[in-house]
Chains A and B, each alone.
Chain A
Amino acid sequence: MQQALSGMNSRLSSIGGSVVGAGDARTRAQLDRSITRPRVGEVSLSAFAFLFSELVQYSQKHVKGIQDLEKRLNLVGYRVGQRLLELLVFRDRGSKRDVKLLNALLFINTNVWKALFGKPADSLEKSSEHDDEYMISDNDLVVNRYISIPKEMAQLNTGAFVAGIVEAMLDGSGFPARVTAHTVPVAGFPFRTTILIKFDAKVMEREKRLADK
């Protein structure tokens, strides 16, 4: 809790709480903020965590299994992604459409992650076994930070929400794909989430055609 409060450059505001003296530390952090750097587009982390947990609970009431739950979160993320795509392309990309697959993925990797979570994704990899699979990894996905999965649902990864966002962005840009989220623990980062992107065959054909031209 104290670490969260002392971060001066943390993009997400500190968690309000029942800790005594939290108020003082918070106002001190507020006064130390730089005036020149615009702090627009920031949302309180605690507000988001509550909202997301409620979203997961609500979805759980209406589904009968893990796959269904992931699909539902994916759908919610899809709606967000559709709108986010238009906005981010207009705001950050000037007037350019991504025609190449790699450019679209890089756009997601940096711009989208930065707009959503304040930092670019940790890695973007191409799978060596399958030509049409790519993976975006994040060591500490913000949406998953305050979620702990019970043992019966070990396969669930609520990062399906983010997977939905990515799927909508790729779908909208003309690269239809199936996107899923998986937990891939790695030394030092037990909660590392990998977003697996599997492109449709049509997309790969088109890429090959464009590459040959």
Chain B
Amino acid sequence: MSYSRPTSTIPVPRYPNGIACIAVVGKQNNPLLIQTFGNAADQELKYHYLAHMSCDYVDEKLRSGSKSGDLYLGLLCTIESQNVYGYMTNTRVKFLIVIPTTVPTKDSEVKAAFDVIHSAYIDLLGNPFYDPDSTQMVASPRFRARLQTLAAPVAS
């Protein structure tokens, strides 16, 4: 990058077989991208439902009034032994990370992961051919690839 972005002091976390799914939900609660990783790759429909359910939790978190207006929403809910963490950007685009409860996670690591996703989303916005108001799923292969590296199993 030619300009500096805030980089968290915690190194970018790798979650080999950790992150089950990353979901990007647009401002009208329309799914922009639902990407599953590892063992969960064949259960995409289930993660669509999960993302949909989590939207309600996000709304609840917002209404219970975070006066500080923090972007990181924390652990939203635990459904079927999956933890769902939420993050909302300034323009009401939400990112959700689903991690099975069996994987030990620290809040700071999840925050760092969200920063990476946010950075990738900003780069996606930089594409003049991407319409941020569209309701279609994101078709950019580069964005998907960035998310893939975040959740990829660590090469031994």
Write the residues of chain A forming the contact surface with B, with a CB cutoff of 8 angstroms.
38, 40-41, 79, 82-83, 85-87, 89-91, 94-99, 172-174
Known: A90-B118, A91-B3. A96 touches B125 (CB 8 A): no
Expressed in whole angstroms, the minimum distance between the Cβ of B131 and any Cβ of chain A is: 9
Q: How far is the CA of A89 from the CA of B125 in the complex (A)?
A: 13
A40-B2, A83-B132, A91-B5 are known contacts. Are A97 and B90 too (CB-CB below 8 A)? yes
Determine the distance from Cα of A87 to Cα of B119 in the docked complex, in whole angstroms: 8
What are some 19 contacts across the A-B interface (CB < 8 A)? A38-B4, A41-B2, A83-B125, A83-B126, A86-B122, A86-B125, A87-B125, A89-B90, A90-B119, A91-B4, A94-B6, A96-B69, A97-B90, A98-B90, A99-B67, A172-B90, A172-B91, A172-B92, A173-B90
What is the interface of chain B, defined by CB distance below 8 A to chain A?
A: 2-6, 67-72, 88-92, 118-119, 121-122, 125-126, 128, 132-133
Contacting pair A96 B68 (CB below 8 A): yes
- Given A40-B3, A91-B5, A94-B6, A86–B69 Cβ distance below 8 Å? no
Assembled-state Cα–Cα distance A79/B129 (Å): 11
| Pair A85/B91 contact, Cβ less than 8 Å | yes
Contacts of B69 in A (CB 8 A): 96-99
Contacts of B132 in A (CB 8 A): 82-83
Nearest chain A residue, comparing its CB with the CB of B89: A86
- B90's nearest neighbour on chain A, judged by CB, is A89
A85 shortest CB reach to chain B, Å: 6
Residue of A nearest to B128 (CB): A79
A194 to chain B, nearest CB (A): 26
By the criterion CB–CB under 8 Å, are B126 and A95 in contact?
A: no
Partner of A87, one of B2, B92, B122: B122
A86 close to B121 (CB less than 8 A)? yes
Question: What separation, in Å, do the CA atoms of A99 and B126 have in the docked complex?
Answer: 25
How long is the Cα–Cα vector from A82 to B126 in the complex, in angstroms? Answer: 10
Taking the closest CB of chain A, its distance from the CB of B139, in whole angstroms, is 18
Residue of B nearest to A79 (CB): B128
A98 to B69 CA separation, bound complex (whole angstroms)? 6
